[in-house]
Structure 1
Amino acid sequence: MLRAVPGSGGPLTAEFEIGYVGADGAEPRAILINSTEVRFELGKPVRVFSSRKRQRHFPGLWWSSTTGGHVGYESWLERDHLMLLDFDPAVVGIASQPFWLFWDENGRRRSHAPDYFARLVGGRAMVVDCRPAERIKPRDAVAFDAMRRACELVGWDYRLVGVPDPVLSTNVRWLAGYRHPRYRVPGIVAALREVFVNTAPLMAGAEEAGDPIVVLPVLFHLLWCGDLTAGLGTVLHDATPVTTVGAR
């Protein structure tokens, strides 16, 4: 029996179990406290996304530059947060529907599969659920609270996220179109890093580095990868200041 975090609002004691699908297809089930070393980012989804006529959600697959493979999403909201995880330099691994969390509630067994598991630089783990606040029903709130308490118990970060900032999402979605390594052309990369050692407007810097038609895809790729940086709180435009990361 595992003790919940004091003051969490849950029962005095709560037993959490984990069920997951390993990379080899095996389906282990174990007490949560004994599962903290599991590489959930390398496993398979525990749920299959359904697709049918007139459904309200839009499932799909996102090619992740972090993992080099496809990661599933069940809605456009999940897709946007998956995209932001992929863009985050602190994230080094991502898995969708990574495990089932099992616990007892009023004598009944409950389960919940979070939307994402992310492995962070340094090995720390983060669990993410995506749901706008206005769409959280009482039963969902109980599941999210159980997930939060379980993560606190084992030292994982937990995020319950709603609709992301629309400007940030718009900018990152644009840059995501250039996330593939094929846009990393060595000669142009070097030229852009040199041009933006001193902060310069986006288009002016691209023109200084060469033909913008050829240069801009590489520039956007470098912004995605973090080699270059720009403020993404306003919509990207020709005069957006861009700087080489690490430049003095």
Structure 2
Amino acid sequence: MNNKYDAGDRVFAGQGKSHRPVRRVVRPTGAAFRGRFPSTKSDRPVSFESLLERDALLLFEFSPGVAAYREQPLFTFYRHGDRMRKYTPDFEVTFVDAGTRLIEVKPDYKLRDTEEVDRLTCLAEHFQRLGTDFQVLSETEIRRSP
């Protein structure tokens, strides 16, 4: 079942037990490492588009504070400069305390690009206005030793 997440601010999501990503995740072309991760918390295979995303799934799967997670959970339109852009976060994580957070996974080197930082700042402000938790995770957080 697909429901609007918040139509007033043009954020849309697929809801329900049988999750369908809002865009196709695993594409057969390209050189990137893609696949599906067998998740017990999500009760189904979860798709990923990079080794870093796969490592984030391992983090979610084995973190006791995470109840469930899903890939490509919604899409939204946000203003970046003088243009409207469409955005799909990598994951939505549901915590055992029933809170949720949208997660974007980026390698550290991309977070040194000023244009990417500007785009992510616009996104963070967009989700803050909506009252939605949003976080960018890089390999510094994902691959940190316990």
Return the TM-score normalized by structure 1.
0.49
Equivalent residue for 1:146, pick from 122, 128, 138 = 122
**2:75: which partner in 1?**
100
Paired position in structure 2 for 1:72: 47
How much does 1:101 deviate?
Answer: 1.9
Give ranges in structure 1 of 5+ residues lacking alignment.
1-23, 169-232, 234-248
Distance 1:33 1:50, change over 3 A: closer
Contact 1:132 1:162 in 2 (8 A): yes
C-alpha separation between the residues in 2 aligned to 1:160 and 1:139?
15
Q: CA offset at residue 143 of structure 1?
A: 3.0
What is the aligned partner in structure 1 of residue 143 from structure 2?
Answer: 165
Instruction: Render the CA deviation track for 1:56-101: whole Å, top value 9, x for unaligned.
Output: x211111111111111100010000011011112211211111112
Q: Give the length in aligned residue pairs.
A: 141
Give a deviation string over 1:107-140, Cα, whole Å, max 9, x none. Answer: 3211111110011123211111111221244443
Q: How does 1:12-27 map to 2 (within 5 A)?
A: 24=1, 26=2
Q: What is the CA deviation profile of residues 192-234 of structure 1, one whole-angstrom value per residue up to 9, with x for unaligned ones?
A: xxxxxxxxxxxxxxxxxxxxxxxxxxxxxxxxxxxxxxxxx3x
1:51 — aligned with what?
28
From 92, 97, 110, the counterpart of 1:117: 92
Q: Write the letter of the residue equivalent to 2:35.
A: G
CA distance in 2, matches of 1:67, 1:83: 12
C-alpha change, 1:134 and 1:128, in structure 2 (3 Å) is same
Q: Give, in angstroms, the shift of residue 50 of structure 1.
A: 1.6
- 2: CA distance, partners of 1:142 / 1:109: 14
* More helix, by proportion: 1
Helix, strand or coil at the partner of 1:31: helix
Distance 1:132 1:70 in 2: 23
Q: Which has the higher strand share?
A: 2
Shift of 1:43: 3.5
Structure 2: runs of 5 or more not aligned: none
Helix, strand or coil at the partner of 2:79: strand
Q: Secondary structure at the match of 2:85?
A: strand
Task: Give RMSD over aligned pairs.
Answer: 2.9
Identify the residue that residue 60 of structure 1 maps to in structure 2: 35
> Hey, what does 1:90 align to over in structure 2?
65
Task: Tell me which of the two structures has the higher relative contact order, counting C-alpha pairs closer than 8 angstroms and 6 or more residues apart.
Answer: 2
Matched-pair identity in %: 21
The 1-side partners of 2:29 and 2:10 are apart by: 38
Q: Rg bigger for which structure? A: 1
- SS of 2:136's partner is strand
Choose from 123, 126, 135 the match for 2:110: 135
Output the TM-score relative to the length of structure 2: 0.79
SS in 2 for 1:78: helix
Distance between the aligned counterparts of 1:101 and 1:34, measured in 2? 4
